[in-house]
Amino acid sequence: MFSYVARRLFQLCITLMLVSIVVFLLGRLSGDPLSLILPPEATEQDFAAAREQLGLDQPLWKQYSIFAARALRGDLGDSITARRPVFPLVMERLPSSLALAGATILLTLLFAVPLGVISAVRKGSYIDFGARLVALLGQSVPSFWLGLILLQFFAVQWRLLPFGDSNGIGYYVLPSITLAAFIAAGIMRLVRSSMLDAMDSDYVKFARSKGVPEWKVIWLHALRNALLPVMTLAGLYLGILVTGAVVIEEVFIWPGMGRLAYQSVVTRDYPVVQGVVLVTAAVVLAANFIVDLLYGYADPRIRAQ
């Protein structure tokens, strides 16, 4: 297990380094950052002095080494519009995004996993047909449209649920339902497919031949192996939701990283965009690392590879 964890940690560090290189190069390709920092009346001497002060007159490899060293210390530069350090600005938004992503994944698993199992066990029945129809609708309805409908009725007209903040459980209901509708559809179909394969496997047939009760065969033997690919997909969704819910965060005025990224792109605040991308990459890699560990713990064959 130790060698498995060490390999995954090494891969995580290499991937994060490659992401930082890409982010650094994209920041340099976006144009001269000094044109956004200095006033319009700045002279060539002002530009030259600023380049020397910021190290922009150094070779590219040296600029990256300075950038990476500062990033490791938590120094991602200063926001052009907010006039604040980028790292604290991003970290203020991260808890709200992580909480919303976690609530969405939890809500998704609570509904999608049982529905997928029942759909597989009752294959070909009306329940199976209804579950697949619900999954198809969930993947077909645009998330922003569903969010607007829920917001209009439950928050604006009926005033049953609040929105526009993250201080309280009630604020999580509408955005998490909106995000979970699409994700739950995909996970439900994956659970159904995995359960059908598991129900036809030799170990399930062997358990039935031993007289194991059917509910144990389904919920303990078959589901345990069927959930392995679901763990991978849920971990991937958790990372993506941190900043991938830009439109939903805008609809519900959610103070998360997705909204921060959108506002930074609109205002051309490139240091904040770089900081959001780096922190998001770290969160995605950490989520996948945890999933890899759980996967290796659940399936010893993975550790042996």
Give 214-252 pLDDT, tens digit per residue.
999 999 889 988 888 888 888 888 877 887 788 899 899
* Structure tokens, 23: 């982010």
What CATH number is given to the structural domain containing 207? 1.10.3720.10
Whether 86 is in a domain gets the answer: no
Three-state secondary structure call for residue 165: coil
Q: Phi, psi (5° rounding) for residue 289?
A: -65, -45
Q: What is the pTM of this model?
A: 0.86
Q: Are 121 and 68 in the same domain?
A: no
Separation CA 155–CA 163 (nearest Å):
7
Q: What is the pLDDT of residue 3?
A: 80
| Residues 266, 117 share a domain | yes
* Separate counts of helices (H) and strands (E) for the chain: 15, 0
**Residue with the two structure tokens 């560990």:** 293
Q: Give the per-residue pLDDT at 129.
A: 95
**Residue at 88 is within a domain:** no
Q: How many domains does the chain have?
A: 2
Tell which wins on pLDDT, 236 or 93: 93
- The owner of tokens 């609570």 is 110
Q: Please provide residue 59's backbone torsions phi and psi, each rounded to the nearest 5 degrees.
A: -60, 155
The yes-or-no verdict on residue 122 having pLDDT over 90 is yes
The predicted model gives 153-163 an average pLDDT of 92
Range of the domain at 67: 2-72
Residue 147 shares a structural domain with residue 270: yes
% the chain with pLDDT above 70:
94
Q: Confirm whether 40 is domain-assigned.
A: yes
Q: What is the pLDDT of residue 32?
A: 66
State CA 304 to chain mean position distance.
Answer: 28
CB 227 within 8 A of CB 149: no
pLDDT classification of 36: cutoffs 50, 70, 90: low
Residue 80 lies in a domain: no
Given a cut of 80, is residue 51 above it in pLDDT?
no
| AA identity, residue 242 | V
296 in any annotated domain: yes
Q: Choose between 195 and 271: higher pLDDT.
A: 195
- Asked if 64 and 110 sit in the same domain, the reply is no
Q: What is the mean pLDDT of residues 202-213?
A: 89
210 within some domain: yes
The C-alpha atoms of residue 161 and residue 75 are separated, in whole angstroms, by 39
Position 303 pLDDT exceeds 80: no
Tell me the two tokens of residue 115.
């529905």
First to last CA, the chain: 11
